A = this chain, B = another copy of it.
Amino acid sequence: MQTNPEPTVPYGQAFALWRDKAIEPWRAYTRHAFIQGLGDGTLPEVAFIHYLKQDYIFLVHFARAWALAVAKADTLDEMKTCAATVNALVNDEMQLHVQTCLAAGISEDQLFGAVEETENIAYTRFVLEAGYSGDFLDLMATLAPCVLGYGEIGRQLATKHSSHTYNDWIACYSGAEYQQTCADVGHLIDCALTSRLGTDYTSGPRWATLSHKFETATRLEIGFWDMGLRGR
């Protein structure tokens, strides 16, 4: 019996397929206690702040991974989409993050001085290494759980949150701008798969490898929330 079917999210075909193949860890990630706590306001502030500090470090490596995608792209269109993402991350999103942290009482110095947690290292280096050792598709498969998972979580919280404590966070990831990024990234992934592996991209052995990387990245996202809850 499945009382909460997965929401339909408009982030393209490959994402929907990857998500279905990794449905157990995907649920553990997108319905994590950390997220419940964001929605009903029960997440302790200390956990949220711990998460924010680690997420700042995460975003640095995330931007580096998208930059690597520019270097690994096959077409000018792929380069443009990835370059725009890098630019948005380093010039807008990270600046916003610094402000959110300041509002939460964390100075920029504290942000920079935070020691990177193992779960953070695991996820970010897994993505970057998959990209360096593999190709553009490996990078997309490992980046997808973060970009698109946050989009799905944002949409889910926007419709059912019962507290206003973490409104800003929810507004950011459910907002039109972030949702458009998700749609663009989903489209980028579908096109990249088709142009490299053909329209029946799920029929060859590469699909299993990519799906496995998507699933591992999803498991590492669960670890990231767990780490957030450990915040002291």
Contacts and interface: CB of A to CB of B under 8 A. Distances in A.
Interface in A200-223: 203-206, 209, 216, 219-220, 223
Nearest to A122: B122
Contact of A83 (B87, B196, B198): B87
Interface string A72-86: 111010011011101
A106 interface: no
Contact of A86 (B74, B86, B196, B209): B86
Interface in A72-110: 72-74, 76, 79-80, 82-84, 86-87, 90-91, 94
B195 A64 contact: no
Interface stretch (A35-43, A133-141, A158-166, A178-186): A133-141
A128 B116 CA distance: 17
Contacts of A206: 196-197
A55 B215 CA distance: 21
Interface residues of A, number: 50
A14 interface: no
A119 interface: yes
Nearest to A72: B133
A87 B79 CA distance: 9
Output the residue of A87, A126, A128, A129 with the most chain B CB within 10 A. A129
A114 interface: no
Given A132-B129, A195-B205, A198-B205, A90 B67 contact: no
B135 A134 contact: yes
Contacts of A68: 67-68, 71
Question: Which 6 residue pairs across A and B have the least CB separation, nearest first?
Answer: A67-B70, A125-B125, A122-B122, A132-B132, A135-B135, A198-B204
13 contacts: A63-B70, A67-B82, A70-B90, A76-B90, A80-B90, A80-B91, A84-B87, A84-B91, A118-B219, A118-B220, A122-B122, A196-B205, A196-B209
Interface of A: 60, 63-65, 67-68, 70-74, 76, 79-80, 82-84, 86-87, 90-91, 94, 116, 118-119, 121-122, 125-126, 128-129, 132-135, 138, 194-198, 203-206, 209, 216, 219-220, 223
